[in-house]
């Protein structure tokens, strides 16, 4: 029986070692230390498979071999064994050695991920309900939606959150950090494979938690990355570096100077998770917004007020609770008064 279990264990170990985790479509090895994390994972899987096969194998074997037979007395009791020093020594020693090995193996990888000095590109990722902002050296304000990284350059990524706890997971990188308000958790890695990879939030963070898996990391050659970064430097040349905060809660928003094209961009970033561009009845979470300020069949907004730009701005600024659910206010959505003016200018063009 021991020989059979040893052979089965060996087959399992060889199977795990030969298994190419990186062939799973979502799990390319796109950074250092993805391969090291996979090796640790395989070590754990092979160990667990061996323990499972030996324990369950003997369990089944003993259950069959020492079963109650019809020739046994009805009150028969099996052989009672106490104090087997040799057995006790080995079942203490083997798990101890295993745990120490596992500790050495995982601390080495943890060291590689966490304790390297800052070098290369140093970035910040900030979680919001329900998207991520990124701050790049030399770029004012924030970059939303996509995190671009140059190939082969070490990255230090400081993560935090502006509202609730999110989690920043990059399956292609085998790295994950909780994003906690007031706390900075740091990830370090070096992108080694060009491509587009998903970022997924893995901490339930509110009604649209499931939307936080649409954003991506783009890994590209240095010159393409430089072009992208310079584009943002120009685009955000006049953006504020201050973390957006709500101005006086009930002060009306000055709508003059709102730019519809900027509003359209904000709309796709911040609004489309809940609002379609279809008619009022095309509800996602909130109502469809096509013609919201110009639809004679809906002369009023959800709060019962006339559909005017000022009233729309007030809803965006203060949020709204109604029978369609909850719309976060401008501070929760990280919208400045200028952003609201842009958004309303855009809504005004929808007819």
Cβ 131 to ligand CUA shortest distance, Å: 9
How many residues contact ligand CUA, by CB under 6 A? 9
Mask for 104-133, x = binds ligand CUA (CB under 6 A): -----------------------x--x---
Rg (CA), the chain: 29
Pairwise CA distance, residues 268 & 203, whole Å = 23
- 130 versus 232: smaller Cβ distance to ligand CUA: 130
| Binding residue for ligand CUA, selected from 212, 255, 330, 345, defined by CB under 6 A | 212
Work out whether strand 31-32 and strand 185-191 pair parallel, antiparallel, or are unpaired. Answer: antiparallel
Q: Which CB sits closer to ligand CUA, 54 or 180?
A: 180
Per DSSP, the three-state class of 124 is: strand
Output 15 or 181, the one with its CB closest to ligand CUA.
Answer: 181
Give just the sign of the alpha carbon dihedral 5, 6, 8, 13: positive
Scan for tokens 């050695």, then name that residue: 97
335 closest CA partner among 105, 152, 162: 162
Nearer to ligand CUA, 140 or 198 (CB): 198
Residues between 245 and 274 that touch ligand CUA (CB under 6 A): none
- Residue pair 142/124 in contact by the 8 Å Cβ criterion: no
Quick one: which segment of 150-158, 205-213, 238-246, 298-306 binds ligand CUA (CB under 6 A)?
A: 205-213
Task: Kindly indicate which of the ranges 14-22, 38-46, 203-211, 228-236 contains the residues binding ligand CUA, using the contact rule CB under 6 A.
Answer: 203-211
Q: Which of 52, 204 has the CB closer to ligand CUA?
A: 204
Shortest CB 187 distance to ligand CUA, Å: 16
| C-beta closer to ligand CUA: residue 201 or 327 | 201
- Under the binding rule (CB under 6 A), the answer on residue 209 touching ligand CUA is yes
Based on the shown chain and the rule CB under 6 A, indicate whether residue 203 belongs to the binding site for ligand CUA. yes
* By the rule CB under 6 A, 313 interacts with ligand CUA: no
Region of 6-14, 144-152, 181-189, 199-207 interacting with ligand CUA (CB under 6 A)? 199-207
Picking from 262, 245, 266, 239, the residue whose alpha carbon sits closest to that of residue 138 is: 239
Rounded to a whole number of angstroms, the minimum distance from the CB of residue 196 to ligand CUA is 20
Token couple for 77: 């009791």
Please tell me whether residue 328 adopts helix, strand or coil conformation.
Answer: coil
CB of 281 to ligand CUA, least distance (A): 29
Query: Does residue number 205 form part of the binding site for ligand CUA (CB under 6 A)?
Result: yes
What tokens appear for 341 in the block? 């003016």
- CA distance linking residue 214 with residue 274, whole number of Å: 14
Residue 5 and residue 207: Cα distance in Å, rounded? Answer: 49
**Residue placing its CB nearer to ligand CUA in the complex, 167 or 348:** 167
Decide the pairing of beta strands 320-322 and 325-327. Answer: antiparallel
Strand order in the sheet with 216-220: 146-150, 216-220, 195-198
Q: Does 31 bind ligand CUA (CB under 6 A)?
A: no
With CB under 6 A as the contact rule, the residue among 166, 174, 188, 275 that binds ligand CUA is 166
In angstroms, the first-to-last Cα distance of the chain is: 78
C-alpha distances (whole Å) from 231 to each of 217, 228, 236, 264, 338 are 17, 5, 9, 19, 22
Of the pair 160, 348, the CB lying nearest ligand CUA is at 160
Least distance (Å) from ligand CUA to the CB of residue 326? 16
**Nearest of 8, 2, 99 to residue 53 by alpha carbon:** 8
Minimum separation from the CB atom of position 271 to ligand CUA (A):
17
- Which residues, in sequence order, are bridge partners of residue 190? 32
Which residues in this chain contact ligand CUA in the complex, by CB under 6 A?
Answer: 127, 130, 166, 201, 203-205, 209, 212
């Amino acid at each position: 029986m021991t020989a059979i279990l040893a052979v089965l264990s060996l087959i399992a170990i060889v199977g795990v070692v030969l298994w190419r985790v990186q062939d799973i479509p979502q799990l390319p090895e796109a950074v250092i230390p993805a391969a090291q994390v996979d090796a640790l994972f395989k070590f754990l899987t092979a160990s667990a498979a061996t323990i499972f096969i030996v324990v369950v194998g003997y369990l089944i074997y003993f259950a069959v071999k020492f079963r109650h037979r019809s020739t046994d007395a009805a009150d028969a009791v099996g052989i009672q064994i106490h104090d087997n020093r040799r057995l006790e020594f080995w079942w203490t020693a083997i798990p101890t050695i295993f745990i120490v090995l596992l500790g050495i193996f995982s601390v080495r990888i943890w060291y590689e991920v966490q304790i390297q000095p800052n070098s290369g590109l140093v970035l910040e990722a900030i979680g919001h309900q329900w998207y991520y902002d990124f701050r790049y050296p030399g770029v004012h304000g924030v970059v939303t939606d996509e995190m671009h990284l140059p190939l082969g350059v070490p990255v230090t990524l400081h993560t935090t959150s502006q509202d609730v706890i999110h989690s920043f997971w990059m399956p292609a990188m085998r790295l994950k950090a909780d994003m906690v308000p007031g706390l900075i958790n740091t990830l370090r890695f070096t992108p080694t494979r060009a491509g587009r990879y998903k970022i997924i939030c893995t901490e339930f963070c509110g009604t649209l938690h499931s939307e936080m898996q649409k954003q991506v990391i783009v890994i590209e050659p240095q010159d393409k990355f430089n072009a992208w970064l310079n584009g943002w430097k120009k685009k955000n040349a006049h953006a504020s570096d201050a973390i957006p905060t709500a101005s006086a809660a009930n002060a009306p928003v000055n709508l003059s100077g709102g730019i519809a094209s900027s509003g359209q961009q904000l709309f796709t970033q911040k609004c489309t998770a809940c609002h379609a561009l279809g008619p009022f009845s095309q509800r996602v979470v909130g109502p469809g917004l096509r013609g919201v300020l110009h639809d004679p069949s809906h002369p009023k907004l959800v709060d019962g007020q006339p559909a005017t730009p000022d009233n729309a701005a007030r809803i965006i600024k203060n949020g709204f609770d109604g029978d369609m659910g909850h719309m976060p206010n401008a501070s929760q959505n990280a919208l400045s008064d200028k952003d609201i003016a842009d958004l309303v200018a855009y809504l005004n063009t929808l007819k």
